[in-house]
Structure 1
């Protein structure tokens, strides 16, 4: 019986262990925040939805210069798209990573820096969240809950590793970068490791100008692409060890 329980636990863990095949592309979904009538943060001529779309396109181009990388943008024009549709795109593609790009704002025009968000603790067990609590859990419910718990732990762990890698690679001089958790729908409801990045503060005049500069956009997309590739390569090595 102990052996059976051990095998059962191993199968549950293996279901949630994400190992991408060497023969299939590494799929990244990049989500330019806002769009359409939702402009996001605005200061003078600086508009968040336009800035993050431009940076997202550059990041897509950077990533696709590497072999075996397939990139999808949730939007490629100024048009808007519902948050749940962004999630649906990533989940239907069975993406390996989801990266949502934004620009920040503050009541203070002196605040600067980047913020990195990964999923909230409340993101766990969406699949059984709507069950009738008056009815006892049957075996299928228990198994599903265990699978969901493992999947949530796996996603959270990988999202945090991705976030740390991205912050390390893209830290800007003389500014503060922080990692936070928040219940943003696009990172809570995507099934793969996900991060939402606030690239800088539009409310700060100098940082807003930097966000729209060609030099900064080229540099930040290079840094983010490098972080994603490093994350992928570490995952490849982990998968190779598991396969032995």
Structure 2
């Protein structure tokens, strides 16, 4: 007769070892892990699509390189030069210098008048060519000075004063011509040639400058140089009259 085996109670001798039952916290954690495993994984930074228009520094999350100190200083200097106004001291200095130039122009015309009247032997003939527009302006200046000074001025008095002021440096003389020509959109006005009398010292000075200018710029600048010099002289006389009220002067007594 077979014996019926009775079950062994847990915890008694001969019973199989009981498995540890999971706690409530462990069951909750397992449920969360299972839910996460079932959800699709999000792509990481390296797997995200890249917009080609996005700068490389932004894609790599790397800050753009800062400009070096030299570049920063240069930009600051440029900004300062644009924003910083001209110092009042410099403006006043430039104005005094211009006033001095204008005064010398007025004096040069007066000296030319006296020289032509008192020392005619010191004068000689020279070819003169000036623009018609400046010639008309010169005529108006002569009439104004004749009323103010009470004497009869000649064109050559102004031409002598103007040509004597032409700079000896050919580069500066050419700059005078270029500045004069820049005032016209396409071409300079027609010129009129004549023979006038100027001081021999002025003739020698002009011939020296003419040779130097021709070596640098050819033959087309000489007539324009005479016109540019005369126009500068007339500009100075106009400014001088604006700054100082013209007074009647007897040049024979001055």
| Bigger relative CO (Cα 8 Å, ≥ 6 apart) | 1
Larger radius of gyration: 2
Decide: shared fold, TM above 0.5: no
Q: TM-score range by the shorter chain?
A: under 0.3
Report the structure, 1 or 2, having the larger helix content. 2
TM-score (norm 1): 0.25
Report the structure, 1 or 2, having the larger strand content. 1
